[in-house]
Amino acid sequence: MSIFNKLFGEFVDVIEWTDSTSDTLVYRFERYGNEIKYGAMLTVRESQTAVLVNEGRIADFFEPGLYRLETRNMPIMTTLESWPHGFSSPFKAEVYFFNMRRFADLKWGTKNPVMLRDKEFGPIRLRAFGTYTFRIKEPLTLIKEIVGTSGHFQTGDIAEQLRNLIVARFADILGESGIPALDLAANYNELGEFITQKIKPEFESYGLDVMQLMVENISLPPEVEATLDKRTSMGIIGDLGRYTQFQAAEALAAAAKNPSGGAGEGIGMGMGFAMAQNLGKTLNASQPPASGSPPPIPGAATYFIAVAGQQSGPFSVPELMEKIKTGEVTRATLVWSQDLVEWTAAEKVTALAPVFAQVPPPVPK
């Protein structure tokens, strides 16, 4: 340091710090040789705390206010120093200012997706991010455990460690909660409050107090979100038959509003007839048949049969009864349906047993 700075330091007797940044936690007041004049004025502003460190030991602690550094208001310092020259000589000490205000809008988030087991989707990967707010709670703990001899300690110097701590606790709590992925958005506030209480003791071990943690978003991987969007679209469409009718009607109306001359007109008419035909089929498909045989009864059992090594069917029970009567299906004929685990002899099928009771057994040879 230059001789000018040394001489200037001899005349400066006001010790103060005005923070020109938004992220400084601790600032060490710089003096040439750490020499502080006896009787110097120490200004500690609101939202600040000052600590004097003498020969590596914390000597005095100052709350907001204006202090004259003399022996009568520095009892701890007085016991550490011999105070020669009639208690009026400069003394060497380091002054650390602590910023006690809230530090808000600090970011946290997962670097890599968190693997979880979801009740609905099975194994999934989730990403999450949010913000948190903290302040200095115990300056002496902070300077002992974290700051050390750093003369300018900022939030960025500890943000990575705090982020890792939050993410580790978040993943553990989210996995134990068992909340389905689709219900997480409804529990952001509860998760944030619960995680805040869980990580408080660990912040306090650094001399810090976490005041609020907010979960802003928990998201699935992009490819999973795309699949989920398709599923959501299907739910919005609802009845596919009605949706198809609507699309056909819209296409027909659009074609009618786009007339063209010559060959284009013929093509337009052809397309119109084709769409009208498709629309008719769609409408007919949604209506029950007006005449003829009724459709199969829903839920009626049908069977496949194996004759001469060839599979045929499916046949309803009345159709099988006719084949039994004609001898095409015998007691030993193998049959199968969705209710049977494997191919089974016809006489052992409960639904067909009453029919075989009316048919005489084979003539003994």
| pLDDT tens readout for residues 69-82 | 876 666 555 555 55
Range of 69-73, 110-114, 251-255 with top mean pLDDT: 110-114
pLDDT at 260 over 80: no
Distance (Å, whole) CA 352 – CA 317:
7
Query: How far apart (Å, rounded) are the C-alpha atoms in residues 60 and 53?
Result: 7
Q: What pLDDT, on the 0 to 100 scale, is given for residue 8?
A: 43
314 lies in some domain: yes
Over range 121-126, report the average pLDDT.
86
According to the model, what pLDDT value does residue 1 have? 47
pLDDT interval class at 333 (50, 70, 90): confident
Whether 280 maps to a domain, the answer reads no
Output the domain CATH number for residue 307: 3.30.1490
Asked if residue 149 and residue 252 are part of one domain, the reply reads no
Instruction: Residue 147: give the domain boundaries.
Output: 103-220
Residue 70 lies in a domain: yes
Question: Lowest-pLDDT range, 34-38, 117-121, 233-237, 354-358?
Answer: 233-237
Better-predicted residue by pLDDT, 260 or 327:
327
d(CA 13, CA 36): 7
Q: Domain check: are 121 and 94 in the same one?
A: no
When comparing pLDDT for 13 and 164, which is higher?
164
Mean pLDDT (whole number) for 30-36: 72
Helices (H), 12-119: 75-80, 84-87
- Positions of E strands within the chain: 14-15, 24-29, 35-36, 41-44, 48-54, 57-62, 65-68, 91-92, 94-99, 103-109, 114-118, 122-136, 152-154, 208-219, 302-307, 310-316, 334-336, 344-345
Higher pLDDT, 112 or 6: 112
Rounded to an integer, the average pLDDT of 30-43 is: 78
Helix 188-204 and helix 156-177, axial crossing angle in degrees, nearest 10: 130
Q: Which of 160, 191, 220 is the last residue of a domain?
A: 220
Q: Identify whether the C-beta of residue 206 lies closer than 8 Å to the C-beta of residue 158.
A: yes
CA distance 37 to 41: 9
Q: Are residues 122 and 204 in the same domain?
A: yes
Q: Are 316 and 300 in contact (CB under 8 A)?
A: yes
Residue 283 lies in a domain: no
Amino acid residing at 347: E
121 and 163 part of one domain: yes
Q: How many CB atoms lie within 10 A of CB 255?
A: 16
Do residue 215 and residue 246 come from a single domain?
Answer: no
Q: By mean pLDDT, which of 49-53, 277-281, 299-303 is the weakest?
A: 277-281
When pLDDT is cut at 50, 70 and 90, the band that residue 364 belongs to is low
The answer to whether the CB of 93 falls within 8 A of the CB of 77 is yes
What's the pLDDT band for 60 if we cut at 50, 70, 90?
confident
Same-domain status, 200 and 244: no
Are 132 and 192 in the same domain? yes
Q: 214-227 pLDDT, tens per residue?
A: 999 998 878 877 87
The pLDDT of residue 273 is 53
Same domain, 173 and 240: no
- 211 & 109 share domain: yes
Residue with the larger pLDDT of the pair 47 and 30: 47
State what percent of residues in the chain have pLDDT above 70: 71
Residue 145 shares a structural domain with residue 208? yes
At 335, list the tokens.
Answer: 């049959």
Range of 91-95, 135-139, 247-251, 258-262 with top mean pLDDT: 135-139
Which is more confident, 130 or 241?
130
Q: pTM of the prediction?
A: 0.57
Span of 35-39, 53-57, 318-322, 357-361 with lowest mean pLDDT: 357-361
pLDDT band (50, 70, 90) for residue 13: confident
* Count of beta carbons in the 10 Å neighbourhood of residue 19: 14
Q: Does 275 reside within a domain?
A: no
Bigger pLDDT: 39 vs 273: 39
Percent of the chain with pLDDT over 90: 28
Write down the mean pLDDT value for the chain: 78
- 36-50, 182-196, 262-276: the lowest-pLDDT one: 262-276
Q: How far is CA 350 from CA 23, 314, 317, 354, in A?
A: 82, 17, 11, 8
